[in-house]
Structure 1
Amino acid sequence: MKSFITCNYLHEVACVGPKYTWCNNKRGANRILEKLDRCLVNAAAFNSSHKLLVKHLTRLASNHCPILFKLLNLIPPNKKVLKFEEVWSTIPVSVAVVYKSWNKKTNGDPSQALNYKLRRTLRYLHFWSKAKFKAMNLHKEELKSEVLRLQELEAGDGVISKEE
C-alpha cells in the first residue's frame, strides 16, 4: 500500500474528529482502536485552490467512523507572493528566526507538515525582514533627503559650509 501511495503521488487529507476510525467494540484492556480509514488525493487535488477537509464523524451503530469528505469554498489566491530573499541568508540572526518557526508544533502527515513549515518559515522571515529593515529604510530615506538638500543648497550659491 505504501508503494502504491508513493508511486501515485497520493497525499492524505487533514482530518478533524476522532483520531481513530475503527474500534473492536470491546471494553477495558481488550479494546482496540485503530485508524484504518483514510482519504487520499492526488497532487492536483491537494494543491488546488479549494480547501479539502475530511471529518471523522461519531461512531454510533458500527465499528467504523463514518467519514465525510468536504470540498470547501474556493480559497482566494494570495495576491502577494512571498519569495526567499538571498540577503536573509547573510544575516546571522535570521537563523534564529528560522529555528523558532521550524520548531513550532505542526500537525498532519509528513508532506503536509513540511509544506506548512516551509510556508510558515517564509512568512516569519518576511515579517522579520520587514521590521528589521524598516528602520534602515527610514534612515536611508533621511540620508537621501539630506543629500538632496545639500545638492540644492550647492546649486543655489555653490558654497556649502562645514556646519551644513
Structure 2
Amino acid sequence: MLTTFKSAYNLTWFLIGNFNDMLTFSRGGAPIRQATLVAFNNFVDSCELVDLGYNGPKYTWIKKGRYGTIILERLDWAFGSQDWRLIFNKAEVRHLPRTCSDHAPILVNLFPSRSTPGYAPFRLQPMWFTHNDFTKLVEDYWASSNENFSEDSLSFAHKATVWNREVYGNVHLKLCRICARIEGVQ
C-alpha cells in the first residue's frame, strides 16, 4: 500500500512506528528468514526512504522466549525521504526506555536545541506548591520586596532555584541517572 502511495504521489514524507519487521538480524529466538529481511529492505528502497538512525537502546522490542531466553529485535523505525532529510537535517531520533510495553517508544525531535550548557531559564515547578516551605518562602520574600518588580522577580527566581536545589536536589540530574540505569538494564 505504501509503495503504491509513493509511486502515485511524489511527496516529501516521514514514517515512524512499529513495522514489525527488521532490516538486520535480531538477538535470540529463531533465525530470521533471509527473504523477510530482503522484502523489508526492498520496501525501504522502493519507497526511497532512509533510516534516520537513533540514539538510545539498540533494540525496540523484547519478548521472553522458551526456556527463559530473551528475544531482542529492532521492530520500530523512523524513516524519511531524502527531501525530508534535507529539510529536517538536524532531526534526531531517540529510542526511549521501555516501561509499560514490550516496545520502546520513539521520540523524534525535529528541531533539537543546542542551548548553552549550564544555562536554563527560570521555571516555576508545580511540585513546589505542594511543599509547605515554598509557600512560606513566597510570602516572606514578597512581604519584604523593594517594589521594583523586575529586580524582585530576578532575585526571587534565584532564591527559589537555590531553595529547590536544597530541598529536592538536582532533579534533572537524578532523572538522567535513572534513565541511564534503565537503558543499561535494557
Q: TM-score interval w.r.t. the shorter chain? A: 0.3 to 0.5
TM-score of the superposed pair, with normalisation by structure 2: 0.36
- Higher RCO (C-alpha under 8 Å, 6+ residues apart): 2
TM-score of the superposed pair, with normalisation by structure 1: 0.40
Instruction: Indicate the structure (1 or 2) with the bigger Cα radius of gyration.
Output: 1
